[in-house]
Amino acid sequence: MSRSLNLAVIPGDGIGQEVVAQGLKVLSAVLPQDVKLETKEYDLGAKRWHRTGETLPDAELESLKQHDAILLGAIGDPSVPSGVLERGLLLKLRFAFDHYVNLRPSKLFPNTATPLAGRPDIDFVVVREGTEGPYTGNGGSLRTGTPAEVATEVSVNTAYGVERVVRDAFERAKARPRKKLTLVHKNNVLVYAGHMWKNIFDRVGQEYPEVTTDYLHVDAATIFFVTQPERFDVIVTDNLFGDILTDLAAAVTGGIGLAASGNVNPTGAFPSMFEPVHGSAPDIAGQGKADPTATILSVALLLRHLGHETEAVRIEDAVAADLAERDGGTARTTDEIGDALAVRVAG
């Protein structure tokens, strides 16, 4: 456990600024006195792009590499054409820093609103592959804009990439009480990638006899997310299916305002990046209405990744206690929620 934490901060757009401020507040409050926190803010996102046309210059990419971890708020604004910041900044970071484990825990905390009747017991984590699949940017468009246009998207999957994320998921499943791992894919239609995923999953699984395994097609998985979410413990899946499933998971566990995520490079070769699953929500930006809890829970994932397990748990316990006391009365501001959590983790 390092006694200094050299953090890159990318507040980004919209509510990104506000929620990151609360994340840092709670981080400062929870860190032991002797851990020196240094932060450097990076001005990246929609405003920067409008001003300079840049999404992520090489110099900044190099500089980001020097940090222990990255905390990101949210990226995106309707004024920027769809895809520019996603591909040029967010995904560029995930790919450049080889964030092959996109970690997304879903837990239904007591007293939080779920659209599901009967409040099932939900506590699972999705290990979403982060560097392959349909997210590679492979593909193209021929005769663009004409009636004869052909557009392709190529999902690229390698045994190297699949095995490392599957192995990571088995390790996580092994460390949890229920020790269950579900592979989600669509191997009855996407037979090339799907069979490779399934074969590797089965082979690696032989090294983990204590882990119970299951396979579901992605369409069936969405059904179980709403009818029987308690059946899941750890899920491993491809980049696009993971994107879809984790938004649905967030929706059934109290909403996107609580969903944390980590873009993790488990080898430590590059800094890992932690961000809420939600977007920049420009419609409520600057009004103190955003719930910073997802960012604060992302800070917990960040601390755990860097070996500060005690502090991670302290944040998660504080969030659980805070949510348990939310009475649905007057809504608190972004700042008030951050303050309340900072007090709890320090106390």
Please report whether residue 300 would count as binding ligand IPM according to CB under 6 A.
no
Give yes or no for a contact between 245 and 222, defined as CB atoms under 8 angstroms apart: yes
- Tell me how far apart the alpha carbons of residues 99 and 267 are, in angstroms, rounded to a whole number: 10
Residue whose CB is less far from a copy of itself, 128 or 314: 128
Cα angle vertex 83, ends 75, 89, to 5°? 45
Residue whose CB is less far from a copy of itself, 180 or 198: 198
Q: Which listed residue (151, 189, 324, 346) binds ligand IPM by CB under 6 A?
A: 189
Size of the site for ligand IPM (CB under 6 A): 8
Q: Which listed residue (31, 35, 86, 321) binds ligand IPM by CB under 6 A?
A: 86
Residue 116: which of ligand IPM, a copy of itself, none does it interact with, CB under 5 to 8 A by kind?
Answer: a copy of itself
Name the minimum Å distance from CB 136 to ligand IPM.
13
> Which residue, 87, 77, 122, 97, is CA-closest to 235?
122
Q: Which of residues 242-301 bind a copy of itself (CB under 8 A)?
A: 243-244, 246-248, 250-252, 255-256
Burial of 293 (0-12, 13-18, 19+ CB in 10 A): buried
The pattern of x and - marking residues 8 through 47 that bind ligand IPM according to CB under 6 A reads: ----------------------------------------
Taking each helix axis from N to C end, the angle separating 159-174 and 191-205, rounded to the nearest 10 degrees, works out to: 40
Chain-centroid distance, C-alpha 53 = 27
Residue type, 126: V
Torsion (CA) 50, 54, 59, 65 in degrees, nearest 10:
90
Please report whether residue 151 would count as binding ligand IPM according to CB under 6 A.
no
Residue whose CB is less far from ligand IPM, 90 or 235: 90
Q: Which of the stretches 86-94, 223-231, 313-321, 322-330 binds ligand IPM when contact is defined by CB under 6 A?
A: 86-94
Place of tokens 């996580």: 172
> Which residue, 143, 132, 105, is CA-closest to 254?
105
Name the minimum Å distance from CB 219 to ligand IPM.
5
Please report whether residue 163 would count as binding a copy of itself according to CB under 8 A.
yes
